[in-house]
């Protein structure tokens, strides 16, 4: 790092600007601690500071995390922070699978490269190996669980992916110079409820109301609900032991701390890293708002306030559910598509056995054996395997729900691609490559492919020039809203056209 770069990073640290949160960490040689740039502690002297691009790099240099600013709560790295597309995809995949025990060779295979190549590019980008990166993620997740939950040390170790309590204790003491028990005694936390509660940081501003309105308008009854300024949904996972886990999550907003609050049912604890990754993707927590705003401020030349900083692109929690919802919404209203999706979930989904019980003065509800409707959450959405298992009966079953044969056939083909893995719908995918495969499926056109890429794969540059809402929002500013004219206008908004699309949709809601 040059002297000028060091001065620039120190100036960013001195500003305490939340826009830099998660984009770098600072190691302080006088204390042996590393911090986020928003730390409330006394500003260290410039000569005592060393700057790192990741928490893993700071820990490998021998620093331990600050107990005040808690580096484990920093927002994730934006796609703009990684020079290599492979590294960006790898970090997302490592985050989701840090507790699964998957080998580096397996993860590299899913990325289409060798483990040797992955180690090389990862080291060039972040200064650490993928294994070191994962180890830091596990330690920071464990630190968060020790601070914010009432889980035992053994449960923390298993959830964070250490495999054994002894290994967890040894690594924690080695890196953080204290035992897990000592950390728990030092921290003030909110362990007053039995449910699991964690925080996920974001970079402000965050237009929370717009995000909730989007989800509320598309919520699948019985699976999702928006109420009391929070988002609730059911969740289904298959554990590493092939167990089917069904439960619920709740996501709220703590604007004062620039963080989302996540609660989940205790039976989902073993898949916590996957849930954290999906919630980050669902609520677009990797976004760097000022970078997006710089590219899209030109939208306000059309109309003042058309683009508002802090817009997020809604992702998805369950890619198959979102894809089916997309197909059901073709050529019909959003409300009608929601009705069909709710029928499908109720008819072919699995009931939620345990109720969602909000913490109140009285004790938590006792679990019941029979399915119980609580707060509008009754079922998990059917899996692709469940739909394919219906075989030739699938069209008839969907037809009885009001889903036409053409849509049923498209849903079956989508389910097949999920089961055989022929299309990668994850946020670590190559969107352009996967869209080509999507377009080869019956019933999937350009609009559907781009919409799926935007929400399932997290592609920031998807654009829906044929979308009714996009054309309606642009109608006052263009002589013609023919796809070619709309597409030409959008060229200046690259590579953030997904955000431009959401901004146009939001403008209709505001008006």
Question: What is the separation of C-alpha 319 from the centre of its chain, rounded to a whole number of angstroms?
Answer: 12
Q: Is residue 360 part of a domain?
A: no
Domain annotation covers residue 432: no
Q: How far apart are CA 328 and CA 427, in angstroms?
A: 22
String of DSSP letters for 332-377: S-HHHHHHHHHHHHHHHSEEP-S------SSPPPPP-SS---BTTB
Closest among 422, 449, 425 to 435, alpha carbons compared: 449
pLDDT tens digit string along 71-100? 999 998 766 655 567 888 888 888 888 877
Residue 121 and residue 173 share a domain? yes
Query: Same domain for 94 and 167?
Result: yes
Query: Which residue is associated with the tokens 């167990």?
Result: 243
Structure tokens of 387? 């739909």
Residue 42 maps to which CATH number?
A: 3.40.10.10
Does residue 449 fall inside a structural domain? no
Print the domain residue range for 462. 290-309+458-511
Cis before 261 (ω within 30): no
Using a cut of 0.75, tell me whether the model's pTM lies above it.
Answer: yes
CATH number of the domain to which 119 belongs: 1.10.10.60
Contact (CB, 8 A) for 330 and 448: yes
pLDDT for 83 equals 57
Q: Kindly give the parts of the chain with pLDDT less than 70.
A: 78-84, 101, 188-195, 354-375, 511
Q: Among 55, 71, 87, which residue terminates a domain?
A: 71
What CA–CA distance (Å, rounded) separates 255 from 73?
A: 14
Can 35 be counted among the known catalytic residues?
yes
Q: Are 34 and 25 in contact (CB under 8 A)?
A: yes
Same domain, 145 and 230: no
* Structural domains in the chain (count): 4
Shared domain check, 246 and 216: yes
Last residue of one domain, picked from the residues 267, 283, 299? 283
Distance CA 196, CA 151 (A): 8
Q: Is residue 439 part of a domain?
A: no
Same-domain status, 166 and 120: yes
Q: Which two tokens stand for residue 505?
A: 């949709």
User: Contact 253/199 with Cβ under 8 angstroms?
Assistant: no
Answer yes or no: do 256 and 240 share one domain.
yes
User: Cα–Cα distance between 424 and 427 in angstroms, integer?
Assistant: 9
In contact, 167 and 221? CB cutoff 8 Å: no
Whether residue 53 is found in the same domain as residue 134:
no
Structure tokens given for 198: 């964690």
Contact predicate 149/141, CB 8 Å? no
In a domain, 509, yes or no: yes
β-strands 33-35, 49-52: how paired? unpaired
Between CA 188 and CA 68 the distance in angstroms is 11
Of the three residues 186, 207, 241, the one that is the final residue of a domain is: 186
Q: Are strands 230-238 and 244-254 parallel, antiparallel or unpaired?
A: antiparallel
Q: Are 240 and 345 in contact (CB under 8 A)?
A: no
Residue 166 domain flag: yes
For CA atoms 155, 160, 164, 166, the dihedral sign is: negative
Q: Is 323 a catalytic residue?
A: no
- The reply to whether 130 and 224 lie within a common domain is no
Catalytic residue among 81, 148, 461, 467: 467
Query: Quick count: other Cβ atoms within 10 Å of Cβ 19?
Result: 17
Answer yes or no: do 173 and 97 share one domain.
Answer: yes
Domain membership flag for residue 274: yes
Question: What does the alpha-carbon distance between residue 500 and residue 300 come to, in Å, rounded to a whole number?
Answer: 11
> For the domain that residue 210 is a member of, what is the CATH number?
3.30.310.20
* Contact present, 64 and 14 (Cβ < 8 Å): no
For the chain, give the percent of residues with pLDDT over 70.
92
Q: Supply angle C-alpha 236, 198, 204, rounded to 5.
A: 110
> For position 371, what pLDDT does the model report?
40
Select which of 21, 35, 284, 318 is catalytic.
Answer: 35
């Amino acid at each position: 790092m040059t002297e000028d770069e060091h001065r620039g990073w120190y100036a960013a640290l001195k500003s305490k600007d939340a826009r830099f949160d998660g984009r770098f960490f600072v190691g302080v040689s006088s204390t042996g601690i590393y911090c986020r740039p928003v730390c409330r502690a006394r500003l260290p002297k410039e000569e005592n500071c060393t700057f790192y691009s990741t928490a893993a790099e700071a820990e490998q240099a021998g620093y331990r995390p600050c107990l005040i600013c808690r580096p484990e709560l920093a927002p994730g790295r934006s796609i703009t922070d990684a020079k290599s597309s492979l590294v960006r995809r790898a970090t997302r995949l490592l985050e989701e699978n840090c507790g699964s025990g998957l080998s580096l060779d397996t993860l590299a295979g899913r990325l289409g490269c060798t483990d040797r190549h992955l180690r090389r590019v990862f080291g060039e980008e972040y200064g650490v190996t993928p294994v070191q990166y994962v180890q830091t993620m596990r330690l920071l997740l464990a630190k968060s669980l020790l601070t914010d939950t009432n889980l035992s040390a053994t449960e923390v170790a298993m959830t964070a992916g250490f495999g054994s309590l002894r290994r967890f204790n040894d690594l924690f003491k080695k890196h953080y110079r204290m035992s897990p028990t000592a950390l728990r005694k030092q921290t003030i936390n909110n362990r007053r409820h039995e449910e699991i509660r964690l925080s996920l940081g974001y970079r402000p501003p965050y237009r929370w109301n717009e995000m909730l309105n989007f989800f509320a308008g598309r919520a699948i009854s019985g699976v999702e609900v928006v109420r009391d300024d929070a988002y609730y949904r059911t969740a289904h996972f298959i554990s590493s032991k092939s167990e089917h886990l069904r439960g619920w999550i709740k996501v709220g907003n703590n604007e004062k701390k620039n963080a989302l609050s996540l609660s989940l049912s205790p039976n989902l604890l073993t898949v916590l890293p996957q849930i954290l990754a999906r919630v980050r993707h669902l609520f677009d927590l990797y976004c760097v708002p000022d970078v997006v705003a710089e590219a899209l401020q030109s939208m306000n030349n059309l109309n003042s306030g058309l683009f508002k900083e802090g817009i997020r692109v809604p992702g998805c929690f369950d890619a198959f559910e979102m894809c089916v919802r997309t197909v059901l919404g073709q050529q019909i209203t959003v409300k009608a598509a929601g009705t069909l999706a709710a029928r499908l979930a109720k008819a072919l989904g699995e009931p939620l056995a345990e109720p969602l019980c909000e913490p109140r003065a009285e004790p938590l509800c006792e679990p019941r054996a029979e399915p119980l409707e609580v707060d509008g959450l009754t079922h998990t959405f059917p899996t692709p395997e469940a739909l394919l298992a219906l075989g030739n009966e699938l069209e008839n079953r969907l037809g009885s729900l009001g889903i036409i044969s053409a849509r049923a056939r498209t849903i079956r083909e989508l389910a097949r691609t999920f089961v055989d893995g022929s299309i990668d719908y994850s946020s670590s995918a190559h969107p352009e490559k996967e869209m080509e495969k999507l377009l080869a499926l019956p019933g999937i056109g350009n609009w559907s492919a781009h919409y799926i890429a935007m929400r399932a794969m997290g592609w920031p540059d998807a654009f829906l020039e044929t979308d009714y809402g996009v054309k309606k929002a642009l109608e006052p500013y263009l002589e013609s809203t023919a796809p070619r004219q709309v597409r030409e206008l959008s060229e200046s908004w690259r590579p953030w056209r997904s955000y431009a699309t959401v901004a146009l949709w939001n403008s209709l809601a505001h008006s």
